Amino acid sequence: MQITSESSIEVSTFEWPAGFYTDAGHAGLKKGADDLGWLVSKVPADAAGVYTTNQFQAAPTALTKQTINLAHKLQAIVMNSGNANSCTGVQGTHDAAAMQKAAADKLKIDSNLVGVASTGVIGEQLPLDKIKKGIDGLGLTKSDDVTKAVLTTDTHAKTITVTCLIDNKKVTLTGFCKGSGMIHPNMATMLGFVTTDAAIEGNQLQGLLSETVNQTFNQITVDGDTSTNDMVVVMANGQAGNDSLTPSHEDYPTFVKAFKLVLSHLAKEIAGDGEGASKLVEVNVAGAYNALEGQQVAKTIVGSNLVKAMIFGGDANWGRVMQAIGQTTAHVDLNGVSVSINGIQMVKNSLAADYSENEVAKTLTEKMVTIDVDLNAGTDTGTAWGCDLTYKYVQINASYRS
């Protein structure tokens, strides 16, 4: 019997989808930790990517975009931390291409099937000899070490595996990412990688990725800064054996839901691991004039330094939320706004509600803070994620290179 229910979607123990292999190692780009790795598909995979909007787009980011745009195909991605290869001029462009070629030669595949991703300090030339030696030492394993090799100021690896049924076949989606500071997508100082053994054509995958990123990674903020190296890349190698997914496929909604679950989980992981952060903040906006305005208001609130400082200090100052709403260009019923923090209504009809200040302050000590806003201007919604602003954030970024 054909199973098409979206209830087949499950968050599972970490595993790589069929036909994907990885490895990682220490190339000497940073002290005492893996800093180089790759992600390899058994066969060329359909691929899609989204990239930073920063004008100083780093050489590896530009190269990967160019490579994917050729035919929406990739078979491998080689990645490093410790050096962003950004603002490195002609030499940086050469080094990114050399890194791509070194991985392709090692794997005996075409260079146009290899993406490159780098993260770390901006403005320093890539130590190409170390990179090439490190790539030469990589193998094909099923370990999760590569998920740690891309970390910079992150406190932990960020991963998720989701499975679902497509054409009665098990399809696996596994994603990992890095990101902790310089996060104000489009997109963040983040690298995101999603692998799946589903069959889905590259152009279809690109459309799905672009749409889902707008609802997930582009709705997180830590500090209002956009990096030069951001990208999210998806590879789908078809090894699950399902019929190619299109909007007319009976199980396409199931795959879309599973895909969004992967990206939203990773987005929240980045927000919650913001540099120095002690709390994950989620803002849910209802009553928006349209979806775009709902997202705009949610992200403005979660990105407000006043709101972030308020949450860090446990100060139940709902005026900070109101000022954030008011500084947007969104439609707002000025006499009908409601605000709740952790389920406690603090504002009703744009005026103070009857609540216990001590009760709200107590909930602000929790690791998760949820702010719900109703603009009373329409029927659409928006959600964004961020974190509090702590003393530790300044400490980390005042000494980033040391």
DSSP E strand boundaries for 71-196:
73-80, 114-118, 158-166, 169-178, 191-196
Residue 170 annotated in ligand binding: no
Is 328 tagged catalytic? Answer: no
Q: Which residue from 283, 321, 326, 250 is spatially nearest to 2, judged by alpha carbons?
A: 250
Distance CA 111, CA 103 (A): 8
The neighbour count for residue 125, using CB atoms within 10 Å, is: 12
Q: 378: closest CA among 295, 322, 258?
A: 295
Q: For residue 55, what are the CA distances in angstroms to 8, 25, 40, 67, 206?
A: 42, 31, 30, 19, 22
Instruction: Exactly one of 61, 88, 161, 189 is catalytic; name it.
Output: 189
For residues 48 and 202, is the Cβ–Cβ distance under 8 A? yes
Question: Does 402 appear as a known binding residue?
Answer: yes
Which residues, in sequence order, are CB contacts of 89 under 8 Å at separation 6+? none
CB 229 within 8 A of CB 50: no
Annotated binding residue 7 = no
Binding residue per annotation — 10? no
Rg (CA), the chain: 22
Q: Which parts are annotated binding residues for substrate?
A: 152, 178, 189, 275, 397, 402
Q: Which residues are catalytic?
A: 189
Q: Which parts are annotated binding residues?
A: 152, 178, 189, 275, 397, 402
